[in-house]
Amino acid sequence: MLIAVAQAGFNRPFRIFLAACAVAVTPLPAPVFADSIQADLPPATVESTRGIVNDLMGQLGQKLKAAIVSDGPVAAVSVCKEAAPAIAKSLSVQHGAQVSRVGTRVRNPEMGAPNAWQKEALADFDSRLAKGEKATELEYWKVVNTDNGKQELRYAKAIVTQQLCVTCHGKAEDIPAPLMEKIRAEYPQDQATGYSVGQLRGAVVVTRALKPH
Ligand code: HEC
């Protein structure tokens, strides 16, 4: 299968390249060239995908803050457990897309573990961070020709650790004992501690079919 890849940061010109991936069993149609990929990804699609991400982060942030203020962080763990997948699911249905969050290290291995392309996105964020790009501006996308002859957009936006997040994702020894106990009880395989403010925590990931035109 031939995969065409386009990546962009908010403030940078497109970087576009093609990567060939030799997994096809049947002969391939003519390759898709980079400039046709840009045509295949109208600005409106990018904007609406960013909108889905902002919606998810906005709704989740609000729920999380409200729960911490009204009931404290221990109770907020349960809110997070219920609310995060519920919001992601409702946005997925609303937009006919698959929307979720993945982590560089993971608390919920069923919901939050990155798949192959999502790992690629996180690795790309890591290397761009090392080159001095701003964590809050990192985004990545890729258009893939699927086996049924359609095109799929795979989009990731970096999630950066903020002060609020360190409450539950900071160094384990800094997390108050009752909160740490609650996290360990709910997530025995938790890996998602040890983060500091400004660090890459993960990504919001969106997969959606591109309309043929
Ligand atoms: C009250 C504790 C708490 C706070 C505060 C918190 N989280 Fe989490 N976080 C959790 C829990 C619990 C999960 C697992 C949710 C689930 O079961 O899907 C989680 C999961 C995640 C995931 C999905 C990947 C994974 O590890 O499973 C990301 C990404 C994430 N949190 C980022 C953040 C960010 C960014 C902030 C700050 C804006 C934050 N969290 C604040 C408790 C918290």
Quick check: is 124 in a domain? yes
Quick check: is 91 in a domain? yes
80 C-alpha vs ligand 1 centroid, how far in Å?
A: 7
Quick check: is 89 in a domain? yes
- Residue 29 in this model has a pLDDT that exceeds 90: no
The CA–CA distances, whole Å, from 45 to 127, 157, 163 equal: 26, 15, 32
Cite the beta strand spans of the chain per DSSP E.
2-7, 15-20, 97-103, 139-145, 151-160, 200-210
The predicted pLDDT at position 70 comes to 95
Question: Residue 138 burial by CB count (10 A; 0-12/13-18/19+): exposed, middle or buried?
Answer: buried
CB 14 within 8 A of CB 38: yes
20 C-alpha vs ligand 1 centroid, how far in Å?
A: 35
What tens digit of pLDDT does each residue of 129-172 get?
A: 999 999 999 999 999 988 888 889 999 999 999 999 999 999 99
Q: What is the pTM of this model?
A: 0.83
Quick check: is 2 in a domain? no
The predicted pLDDT at position 12 comes to 36
What tens digit of pLDDT does each residue of 46-87 get?
A: 999 999 999 999 999 999 999 999 999 999 998 889 999 999
Quick check: is 197 in a domain? yes
Residue-range definition of the domain harbouring residue 151: 12-210
CB 154 within 8 A of CB 205: yes
Quick check: is 3 in a domain? no
Model confidence band, residue 35 (pLDDT cutoffs 50, 70, 90): very low
CB 107 within 8 A of CB 183: yes
Q: 154 CB less than 6 Å from ligand 1?
A: no
Q: Token digits for 173?
A: 């020894």
C-alpha–C-alpha distance, residues 75 and 64, integer Å: 10
Please tell me the total count of domains within the chain.
1
Short-list 132, 105, 71, CA closest to 194: 105
Quick check: is 5 in a domain? no
Sheet holding 200-210, edge to edge: 15-20, 2-7, 139-145, 151-160, 200-210, 97-103
- Of 165, 184, 199, 204, the residue with max ligand 1 atoms within 8 A of its CB, to mutate for a pocket test, comes to 165
Element (H, E) at 21: none
Quick check: is 75 in a domain? yes
What tens digit of pLDDT does each residue of 84-128 get?
A: 999 999 999 999 999 999 999 999 999 999 999 999 999 999 999
